Amino acid sequence: MKLLIGNKNYSSWSLRPWLVMKHFAIEFEEELILLNGPDWKQNLNRRTPFGFVPVLQDDGLVIGETIAIIEYLAEKFPGRPIWPGDGESRAMARMASARMHAGFAAIRNAAPMNLRASFPGRVSADEITQDISGLEDLLGGLLKKSRGDFLFGEFCAADAMFAPVAARIKTYDIAVSDRLRQYFAAIFALDAFEEWLEAALEESWIVQEDEIDFIQARQQSG
């Protein structure tokens, strides 16, 4: 089994299934495909049938899209608690994951994941107010019912879906409630997240399009 991923400093979608596989001790090979440099798009198109990462390869099966990868892993490894055990919590976890996959575009666009960086105050609160409010309602509500540090007690796929949000909040020092800060700290403390972060900090590649200076300059010129 092989997981194709992008630069660890920037690739938020790659982080999600990688965290699931690492945390639940699923053996796999990873292949990093650079999202920068000469002809990177052509190389990405050559290596993946979809033109994006992450991509999971398993015995001739090729799966793109993070949620599809996670669902495949949950079915292939039913003994691993990738989703919560009871049906109600499992449905809520999938709902939260789907909302993350389809929503919160404002914070994703205004505050790109950049694990090496620290840019407090660089993201305007006005741009992301609605998304932060949505996160407080969604995550805060789930955490209020949780009997552990994570959304459904123990770490599961839904938490992996929100790990890049935690990274964005930290990089740009975005104001959130103490409840959310404690939750994000639990994600940061995961052995799998620490392993990803260590590798990201060692990367030297720069993806200009994912740097806050480039994004804000483009917004101002547009």
CATH of the domain at 30: 3.40.30.10
- For the chain, where are the alpha helices, taking DSSP H only? 12-23, 40-47, 66-76, 87-102, 105-110, 125-145, 157-171, 178-188, 191-202, 212-221
148-159: average pLDDT:
97
Q: Please report the DSSP string for 174-192 in residue order.
A: ----HHHHHHHHHHHTSHH
Of 73, 61, 62, which is closest to residue 17 (Cα–Cα)? 73
Q: Does residue 222 carry a pLDDT above 70? A: no
Please say if the pLDDT value at position 149 is more than 70: yes
Single out the residue of 173, 175, 185, 107 nearest to residue 149, CA to CA: 185
What is the percent of the chain with per-residue pLDDT over 90, rounded to a whole number? 87
In a domain, 38, yes or no: yes
Tell the residue number behind the tokens 């979809």, with chain if given: 50
* 121 occurs within a structural domain: yes
> Can you give the pLDDT at residue 49?
87
Q: For the residues 38-61, what does the mean pLDDT come to? A: 91
CATH of the domain at 164: 1.20.1050.10
Tokens 């999600």 belong to 16
- Whole-number pLDDT of residue 220: 83
Residue 6 shares a structural domain with residue 104: no
Domain of residue 18 covers: 2-80
Q: What is the arithmetic mean of pLDDT over 97-113?
A: 95
Residue that wins the pLDDT comparison between 176 and 49: 176
Q: Please tell me the pTM assigned to this model.
A: 0.95
Residues 127 and 143 in one domain: yes
Report, as an integer, the average pLDDT of 49-56. Answer: 93
33 shares a domain with 74? yes
Q: How many CA atoms lie within 13 A of 41 on its CB side?
A: 0
Average of pLDDT values for 161-175?
Answer: 97
- Residues 137-158, mean pLDDT to the nearest whole number: 97
How far apart CA 112 and CA 164 sit, in angstroms, is 9
Q: For all residues of the chain together, what is the average pLDDT?
A: 95
Give the DSSP per-residue string, 63-82. Answer: EESHHHHHHHHHHH-TTS-S
Check: CB of residue 170 under 8 Å from CB of residue 184.
yes
The percentage of residues in the chain with a pLDDT greater than 70, rounded to a whole number, is 100
